[in-house]
Amino acid sequence: MEVRRNDYLVSRALRTFMWASILSSAAQQMATLTDAVVVSNLIGPDAISAVNLVMPVLTLLSCICVLFGVGGSVLAAKAMGRRDMGEVNRVFTTSMTATLLCGVFLSAMLSWLTPQIVSIICPEGSRIYPLAVSYMRTVTLGTAFLMAGSVLQSFVKTDGNPRLVMTAVMLGALLNLVFDLVFIKYLGLGIAGSAWATIVSYLAAMLVCLMHFSRPHCSFRWDWSVLRSVRLTLKMQRSTVKEGFPMSINGLLLGVCIYAFNSIVLHAQGDDGMYVWSLCLQLFMIAQMVLGGIATSLYSIGGLLVGERDMPGLRLLTRRVLRYVCGTLLAVTLLVIAFPGLIGSIFGSGGIPVGGLLYPALRIFSLMLIPYAVVAVLRALYQMIGYRGLSVVLSVAQLVVMVLFVWGFALLNHRLLWWGFPISAAVLLLVLLLTSWGIRRKKPQVALMTLTPRTEEGRSLNISVRLTRDDVARAMDAVTGFLRDNDVTGSIAYNVRLCCEELLYNIVNYAVDKCPEKHFVDVHILCSEPLVSVLVKDDGRPFNPVLKDTPEGTAHLGLRLVNGISSTIHYQYMYNQNMVYLTFHR
């Protein structure tokens, strides 16, 4: 009998999310790479330079998408956890409305101001200038599609459908490649053809994501009423921007800091150093790809757990996320340390005379990946549990401190600059440990480093139950003792026990065909003054106890009983899991 909480369902949800998100990030990276290869071969090297010049503008648009997409999806996830579907719809409606209005406005403004913007980053007399103008003026026409598609992807992932997002991204990448060939090679549109191909990919990805809203389990509905109140709309939008700001500012600073690293390395070690830094940057982007996929999972699943006030589940999720991140990046680090030449050969270092600089630099730089990733995961966690100020500080410090250390080591000795990367990450992790220790002294109920609260101890029962009849019977004894200890007696205690028993035995009897002893059900009961809330999760066949017209048979008599005696009942099917939420007024 498992009377403690385990991470079976949390891990299942995380794996469902994580691999789809990582593959989405990989597809986006591959789309960028193949786009560059096709453009440079069909038009010439000046074309890829023009595309790269416009990239900072697209990066800025992506940061705005993070504000609305990540911020809105985290708020929506928390509201889903509270089963406040009205709030979910208000967040979705205001986020999408702001995204569309902002996208249309920026599309018009950027297209109009294209020559002035390009002249800031490229002299008008340069041969690259007309190419950059042509590309930017065309690609910014699709700004609304880019932003709407990106924000939709965040919401669709949060609603438990990351595979659809992966499909959308991969289809967009494929169409981008195909239409690059069609528009450039066969229609002769030049670099503007590449921009039109990019717009087609944005539009296709957006349309695929819209398919999610025809699903019966879609949680989002458009709420026109919220738009009738300017005050409520602005309030919702402030909350969304505040939630998404830490990750948005980190993405914006990343571009600035890469530019700073370029300048430092070029000044200290010249062209050979720049090539080495380019390889280190590729390692860093691999880490960012892994982090991006796992961070998305943490925001969506963790936001739901925060809304459910399931702090044990959040701690299990955080441990599992850190285990995945550290394990993956440890493998990358060991590979680089053992075989730095392999990394160099992948990126064509064979014919480049970098002397003895490449191997030591790659080995030293790889030591930075794990501490950097740990801080990034904790930064996302702090944002979700309410430490937004600390999250913003970490977003800024994580990159600024790294620049300062690399610059300082370069001043001491140009060969030491690579040590600035791992040492700065380790120092920041140590400072974070001391900071969390100081917070824990003031708030003893929070955990060290993660700062997840240990509140509601004694008022919350959080267990995992193996799918056998004997274990369910023992779990019901635990439920009975918990209700008695919290002075829940009489008809309320009877109804809570009866509903839990009916749900658990229904899952045991009908949810899983093979190896039921390897599956678990999570039961979370929370006692408060006005009510007792019960949350039951399992990964068996979908069933909906809320439906009035359930199929005939004894399998569903218990579900009808649950539907009749609970004060409120709510059902969701997310992350391939049934989630039944009951409340009982005391």
What is the average per-residue pLDDT within 95-111?
92
Mean pLDDT for all residues in the chain:
85
Question: Does the pLDDT value for residue 71 go beyond 60?
Answer: yes
Confidence band for 129, pLDDT divided at 50, 70 and 90: confident
Under 8 Å between Cβ of 132 and 118: yes
What is the average per-residue pLDDT within 389-403?
91
pLDDT in tens, 463-518: 999 988 899 999 999 999 999 988 888 889 999 999 999 889 888 888 777 788 88
- Where residue 229 falls (left for φ over 0; alpha for ψ -120 to 50; beta otherwise) is beta
Question: Does the pLDDT value for residue 549 go beyond 60?
Answer: no
pTM confidence score: 0.84
Structure confidence at residue 295 (pLDDT):
75
Confidence band for 36, pLDDT divided at 50, 70 and 90: low
Distance of CA 574 to the CA centre of its chain: 16
CB burial class (10 A; 0-12, 13-18, 19+) of residue 348?
exposed
| Token code pair at residue 515 | 């190896």
pLDDT in tens, 77-87: 999 988 888 99
Structure confidence at residue 60 (pLDDT):
82
**Residues pairing with 581 in the sheet:** 535, 570
If you search the block for the tokens 């010439």, which residue do you land on? Answer: 44
| Token code pair at residue 506 | 């229904």
CB neighbourhood size of 516 (10 A): 17
Going from N- to C-terminal start, the domains of the chain cover: 20-228, 245-455, 460-585
pLDDT in tens, 309-352: 888 899 999 999 999 899 989 999 999 999 887 776 665 555 54
What is the average per-residue pLDDT within 58-80?
87
Q: Which fold has domain 460-585?
A: Heat Shock Protein 90 (3.30.565)
State the Cα–Cα distance between residues 139 and 203, nearest whole angstrom: 12
